Structure 1
């Protein structure tokens, strides 16, 4: 298939594109380049790409594709809280506009990267795709709105599918250090301490970036009647862990590190465990990476590629990176690049 991947220069896109290409698909990227330079280790080999802000995509740019894999978003809860209107403009309105234009252009398949954080909080048991959604952040709320609005334009020709990823972890050449496993491993490598600011009790569902890539490939190649306008949780029940258990896995992966649970921020209201059986039963998908194996992968990559404190705190953490671009006069208040005559 001829596939357009939005956000191909992001954390997940950089891992996903080679997986799609290895399966024989003709991949083109679309990205504004906000995180193009956030590379740890050898620079990745990007596919042919369209440099374009998601909000400014035209129907002609989408013509000729069999599928759109839509990853591009402002993916950070602190950023969403700081600038909720921009989060909604990009993540919600930009995504729905993209889907409408893809339909107009004759694109058949639309794979949307949603999130398990749409469930928000659950008191007991496992949440599944039929559980009431209770998003707690602008980021999660934007994902719920996109699912609703894109489902409303589905028809016999235009077939969306909503892949609700668990919290991602694992190494990507375009690293994110502001997600829980990646962050804790970085702290352990740089300071010797795995520091947990909450009380460690909240539950988190986790999934490796490589497993997310395989999930999207699985959905891309699935018979349309099995996935049409459906939501699927992406992950594995064995990676439903408390924050304290995640931290313990990191201590086990990073030699000479130790765990410190401060509890200074109190309990986190975002706590939920997820049932991933629908995707497994429908398409035979299995996530294979454990948190322990992912933590070991990250530890080895951080050492091999020389992760340092400055890059950890600024280059690979979304909010400081975007703040630096704005402070340098490169981004405007809407997170668009400022183009000069020169």
Structure 2
């Protein structure tokens, strides 16, 4: 199958492309390269790619594609809160436009990277795909809007599916340090302290980047009628953890580190536990990685690849990276690429 992966030079895309290739798919990437240089360790082998802003994709660029895996987004809650209109423009409007163009070009399925954060402040009970959607950030709101709009495009020849990923973790050659487990392991390695700014009580569902990649591959290969217009939570109940439990797993993985819960940021309203049973029942899919194994992997890779404090707080943090690009003139105020490089 010929598959176009948007955001293939991002954190998840860099892990996903080799998984798809190993399963025999012909992969083409689409990216502006804003995070292409955010590499820790040996550089990844990218597929052939289209260098184009998501907002500028044309129908002709989608000709001959069998399926689109749409990962590209401003994927960060602080970033979304800082520039909500641009978040809406890229994450919502451009995503729906891409799906319409894909349908017009004859693309038969559209795999959309949504998020479990669409459930918002759901409390302690397990939420499944039928639970009310209560997004509390511009990022999560954009995901809900895209899901709603894509449903209206579905027909016998165009099958959208929504993969509501839990919070990602794990090593990627294009690292992100601003997601909870990756961040806590970095602090433990660099400072010896697993610092939790909240009170540690919020629930988070977590899933490894490799497990996300496998889930997309499974949906790519499933019968279209079985997945069309379906939403699937991607993760495992084993990885429904409080932030304090995540911190303890990090301390266990990083020798000599200790947990410090400051509570300085107060209670975090984003708290939810997720039921992942639908993907197991319908797709025979099960996430494999545990939080403990992911923390151990990150510790090993951070040390082996020589993670530095400057990179950890700079180019591996989405908001900091975009600020660097803006200050250097590489992107304009709407985050459109102006010139290559930082």
- Pairwise TM-score range, normalised by the shorter structure: over 0.9
CA distance in 2: counterparts of 1:259 and 1:326, whole angstroms: 35
After the TM superposition, which residues 208-247 of structure 1 pair with which residues of structure 2 at under 5 Å, given as runs? Answer: 208-247=208-247
- Deviation track 1:116-146 (CA, whole Å, cap 9, x = no partner) reads 0000011231001000000010000000000
CA contact (8 A) 2:329 2:339 kept: no
2:115 aligns with 115
CA distance in 1: counterparts of 2:124 and 2:291, whole angstroms: 23
Matched, 1:3 2:3: yes
CA distance in 1: counterparts of 2:260 and 2:232, whole angstroms: 35
CA contact (8 A) 2:91 2:142 kept: yes
2:328 aligns with 328
CA contact (8 A) 2:87 2:138 kept: yes
- Deviation track 1:220-247 (CA, whole Å, cap 9, x = no partner) reads 0001111111000000000000000000
CA distance in 2: counterparts of 1:19 and 1:236, whole angstroms: 20
2:313 aligns with 313
User: Does the residue aligned with 2:314 lie in a helix, a strand or coil?
Assistant: helix
1:200 aligns with 200
CA contact (8 A) 2:159 2:225 kept: no
Kindly report structure 1 stretches of 4+ aligned residues shifted beyond 6 Å. none
Superposed CA RMSD: 0.7
Give the length in aligned residue pairs. Answer: 340
Q: How far did 1:266 drift? A: 1.1
1:270 aligns with 270
After the TM superposition, which residues 66-81 of structure 1 pair with which residues of structure 2 at under 5 Å, given as runs? Answer: 66-81=66-81
**TM-score, normalised via structure 1 length:** 0.99
User: Does the residue aligned with 1:123 lie in a helix, a strand or coil?
Assistant: coil
After the TM superposition, which residues 231-310 of structure 1 pair with which residues of structure 2 at under 5 Å, given as runs? Answer: 231-310=231-310
**TM-score, normalised via structure 2 length:** 0.99
CA distance in 1: counterparts of 2:272 and 2:281, whole angstroms: 21
Could you tell me which runs of 5 or more consecutive residues in structure 1 were left unpaired when the two chains were aligned. Answer: none
CA distance in 2: counterparts of 1:309 and 1:248, whole angstroms: 22
User: Does the residue aligned with 1:168 lie in a helix, a strand or coil?
Assistant: strand
1:163 aligns with 163
- Deviation track 1:133-167 (CA, whole Å, cap 9, x = no partner) reads 00010000000000000111111101000000000
CA distance in 1: counterparts of 2:14 and 2:72, whole angstroms: 12
2:149 aligns with 149
